[in-house]
């Protein structure tokens, strides 16, 4: 069950809080962020080309837009960058002491975006759905560290992590009369001493891959919630994972140096990749 695969360095970096890897199929590149450095990075594995976009605020996540550009989860709300680089606020909701964290795009093209307190105060964060027109609906009002979000291959299940709970939860999704998400229940739980669940992604088999902060590992849970694979890593704080590459078989991993100080291993903060780790799912772009 436990493996030490061959890790390749996609981008050698010293990200304070690398997060949110996302494969942009239209541009054939990997998007990821360094939250605390207010940077959005891209990486083209075919050419090695890299770009960096500086944002004016801490950026919890960046996702591709259907018409080009990016949607970003910032400290004070949701913003968009056009294909020309121009910035606009889609939803501005500044709350002192709070910032945007992880986000994901649902099969219907809506953005699900989380927030958290800088001091990680219990219940100080939220999870919301933002439509293409900017319509905002708060879904979970009292979470602590809103993190990984993903959907099953058929779109009928939504997975979610509030990190301090140590759980990956699952909801039912009913699209008969618009997206209705309900029935929250535990999918899997990370035992004490194994780290805390952070970002996640779902593969083509419906298995859930979860990065374990302070656990130096990524886990794969089968669709029934049983643990079937543990990928050991040479740094303690992996933050998230996503499948990418032309055939979506390469697993990209972000990581953090924050809080490690002089004890940070050399690869902490870099973007890593495990070639041929599995078969991923194509991710939708934000419809707005």
Which residues belong to the active site? 198
> Mapping DSSP to helix (H, G, I), strand (E, B) and coil, where does residue 132 land?
coil
The dihedral formed by the CA atoms of 72, 210, 119 and 58, expressed in degrees to the nearest 10: -20
Query: Over the range 224-260, which residues count as b (16 or more CB within 10 Å of their CB) and which as e?
Result: eeeeebbbebebbbbbbbbbbbeebbbbbbbbbbbee
* Distance separating alpha carbons of residues 103 and 111, to the nearest angstrom: 7
**Burial group, residue 109, by CB count within 10 angstroms (0-12, 13-18, 19+):** middle
Token pair belonging to 256 = 């953090």
Closest CA to 125 of 158, 161, 91, 72: 161
d(CA 111, CA 105): 5
Contact indicator for 19, 61 with CB cutoff of 8 Å = yes
φ, ψ dihedrals at 163, nearest 5°: -50, -50
End-to-end Cα, the chain, rounded Å: 41
């Amino acid at each position: 069950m436990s493996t030490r695969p061959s890790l390749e360095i996609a981008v050698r970096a010293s990200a304070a809080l690398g997060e949110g890897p996302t494969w942009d199929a239209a541009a054939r590149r990997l998007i990821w962020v360094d939250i605390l450095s207010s940077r959005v990075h891209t990486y083209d594995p075919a050419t090695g080309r890299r770009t960096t976009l500086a944002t004016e605020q801490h950026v919890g996540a960046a996702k591709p837009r259907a018409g080009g550009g990016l949607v970003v989860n910032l400290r004070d709300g949701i913003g968009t960058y056009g294909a020309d680089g121009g910035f606009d606020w889609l939803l501005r909701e500044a709350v002192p002491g709070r910032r945007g964290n992880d986000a994901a795009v649902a099969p219907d093209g809506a953005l699900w975006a989380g927030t958290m307190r800088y001091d990680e105060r219990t219940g100080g964060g939220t999870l919301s759905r933002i439509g293409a027109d900017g319509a905002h609906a708060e879904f979970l009002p009292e979470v602590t560290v809103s993190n990984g979000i993903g959907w099953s291959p058929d779109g009928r299940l939504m997975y979610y992590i509030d990190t301090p709970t140590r759980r990956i939860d699952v909801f039912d999704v009913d699209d008969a009369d618009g997206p209705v998400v309900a029935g929250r229940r535990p999918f899997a739980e990370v035992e004490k001493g194994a780290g805390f669940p952070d970002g996640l992604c779902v593969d083509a088999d419906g298995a859930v891959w979860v990065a374990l902060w302070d656990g130096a590992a990524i886990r794969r849970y089968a669709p029934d919630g049983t643990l079937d694979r543990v990928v050991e890593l040479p740094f303690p704080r992996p933050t998230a994972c996503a499948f990418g590459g032309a055939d979506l078989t390469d697993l990209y991993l972000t990581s953090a140096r924050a809080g490690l100080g002089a004890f940070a291993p050399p690869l902490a903060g870099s973007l890593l990749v495990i070639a041929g780790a599995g078969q991923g799912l194509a991710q939708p772009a934000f419809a707005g």
